[in-house]
A = this chain, B = another copy of it.
Amino acid sequence: MANARESCVYEVNYATPRSFATTLKSDLKETLFPDDPFHEFRNEPPSKRAKKAIQYFVPIFQWLPKYSLSLFKYDLLAGITIASLAIPQGISYAKLANLPPLIGLYSSFVPPLVYAVFGSSKHVAVGTVAACSLLIGSIIGEKVSAVDDPELYLHLVFTATFFTGILQAAMGFLRLGILVDFLSHSTITGFMGGTATIICLQQLKGVFGLKHFTTKTDVVSVLRSIIAHRHEKKKKPKLFWVSAIAPMLVVITGCLFAYFAHAEKHGIQIVGDLKKGINPLSIRHLNFDAKYISAPIKAGIITAMVALAEGIAIGRSFAILKNEQVDGNKEMIAFGFMNIVGSCTSCYLTTGPFSKTAVNFNAGCKTAMANVVMAGCMLLTLLFLAPLFSYTPLVALSAIIMSAMLGLIEYEKAFRLFKTDKYDFLICMAAFLGVAFVSMDVGLILSVGLAILRALLYVARPATCKLGSIPNSSLYRDIEQYPEVTGIPGILVLQLGSPIYFPNCGYIRERILRWVRDEQASRDADQGSHIEHIFLELGGVTCIDITGVEILIEILKVLEVKGIKVALVNPRLEVMEKLIVTKFIDTIGKQNVFLSIDDAIEASRFNLERSKQLQDAQGHNYADGASLSKVWNCNL
């Protein structure tokens, strides 16, 4: 019968565990460099490698040498289009953050240039975003009033932007893109929806407040914008120009109206005084006074995460459409540099906003040159046209903001979450309701907390299932999923979930013992055979820690007393290493570890037969006694 084991050519691999240094290196690589970013220049000579490295870290060296006039035609068109969006959005979002409108225009000049040098996405259009503007405004506003001390407020906003940049760049260098992963789509959907809702309500107040003084212009603007927005939603490529240019049209119409009707005399508020000239330096305005520092740090951390989540997600989505790759960590470094430089040149937080990037993509941009073109347009605007926009009625800005915001309330997506995953829906609604009814940071933290709780709960309760045999095959499948599979007399096969870790060890023990109890009860009811063997299928278990090994030993002991033998099937590399190091393999015995369930069944049948023969021959159950004493002598 020894033939049965020998006929199986491949035995379980008991190779010496890899050294700590090897596993640490491999773990660090998986954690920090999952995309293996340096694979491109691994086999190059040193001179070429240096060049490739520079091209890798500063992507402009990669695309600029190959740049041609034919590409520039596309980028010029796209650049002008996004510039026409950048001007009204810049002014509007600056207002959301309680900043002077000029800061919004400044923020569309310097950061796009920095991004063009370091950014790896071809489609991202840099600019300010509504959610972060509101977030930064509300956090800094708690500390310093934008009305009472606008100068200090402005300086703290620059400081927050500086921290955002430092944090983003540091996360990129330390390859901590993993942190952004914890902002799930559900959280972002809820957060954006909640932010859009409060922004809309804020703006509506303004719109209704003005009704007493003026004509229906504002309502018309709103309607026009909403129509433009609806066109955008339908994503008909021909009509996207309407949505791209509509805000600019609203602003120009509003300006002309305000200028010729002397609207400010009729109580319609306008933007007011916009000075000519490019960004003044603001590096000496960065304020690290211990009295205020907590607010910019808090704002910096939260907005850094939200801005990254938005900027990286959008870049990635459009890259997929063109079958290209975006490196999240490189994007973080680019965003980080952009905000550090921005904070020193009178800009506040910028990222790659959804709306602008979509317009850039649809306008046919080919490279980051579109951002340079936009910056050029902003330069001209700042130098020559800025004063013209001082007549923009605030109500036109409200209309622009609201139109952009309505697109962010993705109720269809929320409904889809509700239909497919109730817990994801809960995470989404926590962000939405938290932002809408409490505050932006509370909503965000609540939602992320729930998402982490879910991840922890998953770790705490890995699914275990009972396997049955599919007739005429060597396949074993979950008996709940495939009710037609059949059990094996005298044997219970359990597939354990992954990982086996301290938070779930208690659960795994209870669950296995419950399987045994239930199985024995049902076999007793059917007057079936007694369970003599339990096979733990570990093929799906990728990790086990020392508490997990201890619990396996505990299970071994408890079941041994009940007269049930335990065997392991197909432990994977990391698990096998841990089992060898902890001497668990010595405890259970190599003869009880198998490569497949079939092997284990064959061996158990052989054992049953042999123990019967021995019993007959010697009058006592020798085989059982030997294995029992072995287990009890284990020194763990």
Contact = CB atoms under 8 A, between A and B. Distances in A.
Interface of A: 8-10, 13, 20, 24, 27, 30-31, 34-36, 39, 177-178, 181-182, 184-186, 320, 323, 325, 328, 416-417, 419-424, 451-452, 455-463, 465, 470-475, 477-478, 480-482, 484-485, 497-499, 501-507, 510-511, 513-514, 517-518, 539-543, 545-547, 549-550, 554, 557-558, 561, 570, 572-574, 576, 578, 581-582, 595-596
B581 A420 contact: yes
**Most chain B beta-carbon neighbours within 10 Å: one of A31, A177, A540, A557:** A540
Contact of A35 (B10, B510, B539): B510
A460 B455 CA distance: 9
Contact of A36 (B420, B514, B561): B514
Given A474-B474, A481-B13, A181 B572 contact: no
8 contacts: A10-B475, A10-B484, A34-B506, A416-B546, A463-B574, A497-B498, A497-B542, A539-B540
A96 B186 CA distance: 50
A495 to B, nearest CB: 8
Decide if the interface of chain A is mainly helix, strand, loop or mixed.
Answer: helix
A479 to B, nearest CB: 10
B185 A477 contact: no
B458 A422 contact: no
A36 to B, nearest CB: 5
B578 A420 contact: yes
A169 to B, nearest CB: 19
Nearest to A20: B422
B456 A185 contact: no
A182 B574 contact: no
A451 to B, nearest CB: 7
Contact of A34 (B182, B328, B458, B514): B514
**Most chain B beta-carbon neighbours within 10 Å: one of A8, A30, A36, A463:** A463
A82 to B, nearest CB: 26
Given A507-B34, A578-B420, A181 B460 contact: yes
Contact of A545 (B30, B421, B465, B518): B421
Contacts of A541: 540
Nearest to A503: B181
Contacts of A31: 457, 460-461
A499 B458 contact: yes
Given A470-B9, A502-B181, A506-B328, A452 B458 contact: no
A30 B477 CA distance: 20
**Most chain B beta-carbon neighbours within 10 Å: one of A34, A451, A465:** A34
B184 A547 contact: yes
B517 A39 contact: yes
Nearest to A425: B546
A470 B181 contact: no
A199 B548 CA distance: 31
A582 B545 CA distance: 34
A225 to B, nearest CB: 28
Given A10-B485, A39-B517, A424-B547, 15 more contacts: A9-B472, A20-B422, A178-B460, A181-B505, A184-B547, A320-B558, A421-B545, A424-B545, A455-B501, A462-B542, A477-B570, A478-B572, A481-B573, A539-B539, A540-B541
